[in-house]
Chain A
């Protein structure tokens, strides 16, 4: 079993990443923006001209590097708590459906847990706080419901 980086290290590192983007170029850190630029193209220029696309490329590379170093690449077995309840085929279908909600909702809200929940809240955006209230309310409510019912 690989080691676990504690929250009080991981959280401040993520906070510093938000600060770095503001300090370097007055940009707001958020992952959904990168996915939107990759999928539908940025408003200006080529997909690879988007700094946000490079950000998500970096996230995939960094995660690969850690998993390779920790010997946990491509973990066997199913998808955590879902695997205790469903076989592989249904897990694929459920995750695809959940992904639809994640993609549609994040695009409609103009950001996700990173863009609204971290960056937006840190800069005091009321819109981000409203989005995050919706996100956390639904996420906790649905999770508790699933835990109780399924």
Chain B
């Protein structure tokens, strides 16, 4: 329960920041991805830099709520990572929104985000169902851990 409440609280901060930084405005991502504005690249780069420093400092310590050792094991590269990334990137370019900002668009009352969200729900379900049907040809069904 404490993790869920912390998660809710961190989510509230992130949602507030996403809308304030205009990541809920489709033109923000369109300007980023047409290379018209460096702002979102800088936003992401600074987030990665801060997180990487944190990872370096925390590695091997114990997590406060669970006592688990903080590990940063990583999965091997698989085809699904790249193919999924290419499909996702195409959708991101057209929708001008990726999952986090999309949820924030819904919160901010952007009606057309409902269309994107319906698509995302169907897309996730399709990805779960299609490999299941083709399971004979694709064993283990490309089931990567989802972050």
Contacts and interface: CB of A to CB of B under 8 A. Distances in A.
Interface of A: 2-33, 35-36, 39-40, 49, 51-52, 54-67, 70, 72-75, 78-82, 91-128, 130-144, 146-147
Nearest to A75: B110
A65 B15 contact: yes
A14 B84 contact: no
The prevalent SS among residues of B at the interface is helix
A134 B89 contact: yes
Contact of B146 (A17, A110, A130, A133): A110
B80 A110 contact: yes
Contacts, number: 496
A39 B87 contact: no
Contacts of A78: 112
Given A80-B27, A103-B123, A18 B81 contact: no
A13 B17 CA distance: 8
Contacts of B92: 98, 102, 113, 135, 138-139
B93 A138 contact: yes
B135 interface: no
Nearest to B130: A104
B70 to A, nearest CB: 5
Given A102-B102, A108-B127, 6 more contacts: A2-B20, A10-B21, A58-B9, A60-B107, A107-B146, A124-B74
B119 A55 contact: no
Interface in B2-29: 3-27
Contacts of B75: 110, 125, 127
B46 A15 contact: yes
Contacts of A12: 46-47, 50
The 6 closest A-B pairs by CB, nearest first: A58-B11, A99-B119, A103-B123, A115-B147, A134-B85, A62-B15
B121 interface: yes
A51 B4 contact: yes
B77 A127 contact: yes
A104 B127 contact: yes
B147 A64 contact: no
